[in-house]
Amino acid sequence: MSVRENIELLRRSVPENVKIVAVSKFHPVEQIREAYDDGQRIFGESRVQELVAKQAVLPDDIEWHFIGTLQRNKVKYIAPFIRLIHSLDSESLMSEIDKRAVENNRIIPCLLQIHIAREITKSGFAPQESTDFLAGGRWRNYPHVQLSGVMGMATLTDDAEQIRSEFRLLKSLFDEWKQKYFADEPAFSEISMGMSDDYSIAVEEGSTMIRVGTMIFGKR
Ligand SMILES: *Cc1c(COP(=O)(O)O)cnc(C)c1O
């Protein structure tokens, strides 16, 4: 099946209010263009160098999202144009994003990445760590970072109930923080969860944004 057919199939299988981030990492710009020509505007990349190279040659109305581990010393390269960083996982990264946002006269939306999976290799704040981080209040010192919700990756497993319980945990953290800290902030609204193999479960558990690569573009 073509990229276009894959995207259309995906669109039909999720509710209209769930945003689709087409994860184009390792795939060439020609494939991104194919998706773009079919109306796709949100693309996700996980490496700064690759993202910057693609951004330079593709249409300006693409909404680029960063979904991978972000090193502080690379924030400056994406700060001018990035529309959403899904992988905010420390105060030091937040401080750097804030600084680069100021330089670019921008406010940069970010999601708190939470480690919900069993695998220890996955990144993100541990749930307790992020709870402490928000309770501590120092995040308020970075007004050029717009906290816009949460992101998480479930364990890579065939056990659907395990995956479901991890997504449920992320949703419950979101709800708790929304009520405690962001009740008056409409921007805190996104729950980024669900990939090619588990997006249906994620949508059932309240995802507002799925990040799908393989199902759209094929194997990397
Ligand atoms: C690669 C990647 C995805 C997409 O994964 P697929 O299984 O190809 O859909 C989603 N989220 C993150 C953080 C990724 O690194």
Spatial separation of the C-alpha atoms in residues 113 and 123, rounded to whole Å: 8
Q: What is the DSSP letter of 180?
A: H
Check pocket membership of 69 for ligand 1, CB cut-off 6 A: no
**What is the predicted pLDDT for the residue at 119?**
82
Q: What is the C-alpha radius of gyration for the chain, rounded to an integer number of angstroms?
A: 17
What percent of the chain is predicted at pLDDT more than 90?
96
pTM exceeding 0.85:
yes
- Is the pLDDT at 122 greater than 90, yes or no? no
Q: 173-211: b or e for each residue (b if 16 or more CB lie within 10 Å)?
A: bbeebbeebbeeeeebebbbbbbeebbebbbebbbbbbb
- Locate tokens 């010192």: which residue? 141
Q: What does the DSSP assignment read for 25-66?
A: TTS-HHHHHHHHHTT--EEEES-HHHHHHHHHHS-TT-EEEE
Phi then psi for residue 65, to 5 deg, are: -115, 140
Task: Identify which of 7, 21, 46, 47 to mutate to test ligand 1's pocket (most ligand atoms within 8 A of the CB).
Answer: 46
Q: Give the amino acid at 67.
A: I
- Is the pLDDT at 120 greater than 80, yes or no? no
CA dihedral (150, 156, 157, 158) positive or negative: positive
Fold of 3-217: TIM Barrel (3.20.20)
Neighbours of 93 (CB within 10 A): 20
> What is the average per-residue pLDDT within 203-220?
96
Check pocket membership of 152 for ligand 1, CB cut-off 6 A: no
pLDDT digits 0-9 by tens, 14-48:
999 999 999 999 999 999 999 999 999 999 999 99
Q: What does the DSSP assignment read for 125-168?
A: B-HHHHHHHHHH-GGGG-TTEEEEEEEE---SSS-HHHHHHHHH
Structure tokens at 115: 């480690």
Per domain, the residue ranges of the chain are 3-217
Give yes or no for a contact between 19 and 208, defined as CB atoms under 8 angstroms apart.
yes
**What is the predicted pLDDT for the residue at 22?**
98
Identify the helix (H) or strand (E) that includes residue 193: none
Check pocket membership of 213 for ligand 1, CB cut-off 6 A: yes
* C-alpha of residue 69 to centroid of ligand 1, in Å: 12
